[in-house]
Amino acid sequence: MMQILMFIILGLLVFPSQFLSIDIILRGLLLSIILIFIARPVAVFLSTVKMGFDLKEKVFLSWAGLKGAVPIVLATFPMTMGLENSQLFFNVVFFVVLTSALIQGSTISFIAKKLNLNGPRKVEAPHSLELVSIGKANAEIIEFVVNEQAIITGQKLKEITFPNDVLISAIIRTGDLVTPHGETKVQPGDILYILVSKQRKKELKCFLNKSKEAVIPSI
């Protein structure tokens, strides 16, 4: 709420007739180009020497340098001191922040994808389950997306040794709701809704996060 209030107050200092003038636009665009394509990359490449980042990661860090409220707040200091051309400084800084937010902020995901730095796409469940109880609940429902390396992948529910106080409430498979039973085989991409007591929640998560490679077959 305080950030919203701060931006509203800062917005009162911007005059559209001055902010959108040719002089401000040209100065702002020039500064934006220098900051985005020269100053920020140079600073990132120098400050990340021997930190283990590869070229793609450094490029992404350079592009992700969003300018926000701090530069705008700093730009108000000349105005409070009544310095000459303080309104010009503020308008230019405001334009640079707006340009950076629009260009860099809206393309971060695109740049990450082009640099192959984005993680695997999370499967979104088309359904949701909620646990409704009176008073303090001693259990909750957690959601788990099954991957190919999960220890439970390919097994029937009756063959899986879950921790105590655990119940598979529902399975979402390719958008359809599957009622689980003992013969149901867990498949990659399944979304499991699991009812578990709070005391067993940590134990269950450790069990689900085990991979097949981590399991050493007994001799």
Quick: pLDDT tens for 57-97: 999 998 887 666 778 788 888 878 888 888 888 888 888 88
CA angle at 52 for the pair 49 and 58, rounded to the nearest 5°: 65
How high is the pLDDT of residue 214? 55
Q: What φ, ψ does residue 144 adopt, rounded to 5°? A: -135, 125
How high is the pLDDT of residue 19? 64
Confidence of residue 216 (pLDDT cuts 50, 70, 90): very low
Confidence of residue 134 (pLDDT cuts 50, 70, 90): very low
How high is the pLDDT of residue 128? 57
How high is the pLDDT of residue 156? 92
Instruction: Indicate the pTM of the whole model.
Output: 0.51
Domain residue ranges of the chain, discontinuous segments joined by +: 8-114, 139-212
Residue found by looking up tokens 């990132």 in the block: 44
User: Does 32 score more than 90 pLDDT?
Assistant: no
User: Does 180 score more than 70 pLDDT?
Assistant: yes
Residues 141/169, Cβ–Cβ less than 8 Å: yes
Confidence of residue 185 (pLDDT cuts 50, 70, 90): very high
Query: Which CATH code fits 139-212?
Result: 3.30.70.1450
How high is the pLDDT of residue 2? 76
- Where is pLDDT greater, at 67 or 135? 67
Whole-number mean pLDDT of the chain?
81
How high is the pLDDT of residue 218? 46
